[in-house]
Structure 1
């Protein structure tokens, strides 16, 4: 299974090669079942004795509903970002549950994902890191340790040797770390550090064009207590009646944001004629400045300038 026919064919050709290498003389019932000219190198389907079939597949969830798969190879699942690809994956994986007696299983392959695209691998990687995948899953994942800085050659080469292992063994390996490092620095191959880290250091990262890095956004979803002694920045946005007035805090250490006070016009009839309680707002702002360690204050004080400056 893959995003397009050629990609799925790459995996299928490995299976067809094994089938072909068995030899027509030893296994004519298999080799002779290859569709086409009888050559595994151009095979598109393999039919096994007893009705079994092996074939490559790309997107199209509806066409896979009701299938009887016993072994799946979802390839490059970091690219499963479109609804039809996620649907294909979900449908085929559901089909595995129908064949308990055949001991069905799936082998997923992937490159590190671009965070924020919600690919199949991004979802699975988050579950794996949280320990939520369960005992039926085995994840083999080698990721570069520590910070990523591709301008630090010595550090990056060490990370490459760790991630690639035997593939970069100086005597028996088939990959050259110097060549790979040069590719990481080549802007025509890796336009930014994030791309280099994903493809060569196996580190899932947000793209350089992301407005806010995903890990920063996710950090905001994990509430924490901010001690009054912790340095913070304060933001104030004031209004009189039609809009909300809010005081927000931002921890200087990690950018964690939290609400210190908010005043909103009530919905419906209760909001008619409502005005922001100016005294209450200013009392809260003075309390924040007095009781917390405020490093800086940013204010959009339209119609509140004299109050804030005071």
Structure 2
């Protein structure tokens, strides 16, 4: 039940002030049709609602600028559209600031509420963090959501779509169920995952798949196998425990990808302390250099900088470098490499040998938009669906391009001829 709160301060939070307009307009509309101005002496301004007398108490919008909001003492905070509150716009920090300010005065009745659509599991938004938190699991926080009961493959079934829409919209009698049904059935310009999230309140696990199965299968080439002595480039992405470690080769003359090693956590309860076999990885790298003519290698450095430095020294031939660091956490360079790889798949300027692990990792990859372009990521931060070989493939294909640009495709093995 609502109760009077002394020194009331209400904050409407969003990622941008424009996003608070809808909520503020609704508040102003309701107050203007009530005794708020005459009996309670409220000044219903466009930016701030406050008392005409100047006594404490306001309703005002707030945008994501965490440090400037530190130390405020709101009695109520509404955080709007928190599926858009992501790391790139400071949303998680803003959420923590507002929540922390509220928690200091909960004994006096302060509370917070968030509103959201179904989140994109690729983005690690505030909505996702709340949904997956132990506070929700243990019922300390109330998470209220009505989802339409429908599966992705049922989005072409008119009867099921209509029933699921009625479930999701509940008593929202203003919703145009007929129009929404028509849109879902016949408008193919919108991804199904978007319909699931925004029309049915369903969290679509593979909402932004990077590669379709058909596209990837079209690049499979079972002819012309990789042979010892072929000129290749290498891509390496390493981990220690959580993620997988992989090594991919890419033949220079035709861009054919093949797997040289995968060390993946088996998630076996009998092996809780599993770690990547570093010696096995070292052996695989050395075997690659001894079996093929490795012209260029890109390796993601975290956890493996010492090893990569040693490989660079070992495989420096006559002053010519073959091993280079490639930081995948630098978005400008990584988005460009991913775009080139994706384009090569689309025009079939890339090949692979159909390796099941590589295919699995490529099809597991989802996309995440950043200001620099498109990155690939797991479908959610806690997902067990690994994508490390996909990252290795991108690095190997990029290494191939740079090796060719450096003129190394024309390098021939020298032979000593005796008389």
Give TM class, smaller chain: 0.5 to 0.7
Q: What is the CA–CA distance in structure 2 between the aligned matches of 1:109 and 1:249, rounded to whole Å?
A: 37
Cα–Cα, structure 1 residues 259 and 158, in superposed 2: closer, same or farther, change >3 Å?
farther
| SS of equivalent to 1:182 | helix
Across the aligned residues of Structure 1 and Structure 2, the Cα RMSD in angstroms comes to 4.2
Q: Any conservation in 1 of the 2:70–2:101 contact (CA below 8 Å)?
A: yes
Shift of the alpha carbon at 1:164?
Answer: 1.5
Tell me which residue corresponds to 2:50. 47
Aligned residue runs from structure 1 range 1-310, under 5 A: 1-23=13-35, 26-27=38-39, 29-30=41-42, 33-35=43-45, 43-48=46-51, 50-81=55-86, 82-127=88-133, 132-148=136-152, 149-167=154-172, 173-185=173-185, 187=187, 191-205=190-204, 206-211=206-211, 263-265=280-282
Deviation at 1:3, TM superposition (A): 2.2
For CA contacts below 8 A with separation 6 or more, give which structure has more relative contact order: 2
* Cα distance in 1 for residues equivalent to 2:275 and 2:161: 41
TM-score calculated relative to the size of structure 1: 0.61
| 3-state SS of 1:265 partner | helix
Deviation at 1:236, TM superposition (A): 11
| Normalised TM-score (structure 2) | 0.47
CA distance in 1, matches of 2:38, 2:78: 27
Which runs of 5 or more residues in structure 2 are unaligned? 1-12, 213-241, 250-258, 267-273, 284-305, 315-353, 359-419
Contact 1:112–1:204 under 8 Å retained in 2: yes
- Return the structure number with greater strand share: 2
TM-aligned CA deviation for residue 138 of structure 1: 1.2
**Matched-pair contact (CA < 8 Å) for 1:150–1:185:** yes
SS of residue paired to 1:78: helix
Q: Deviation of residue 73 (structure 1)?
A: 0.8
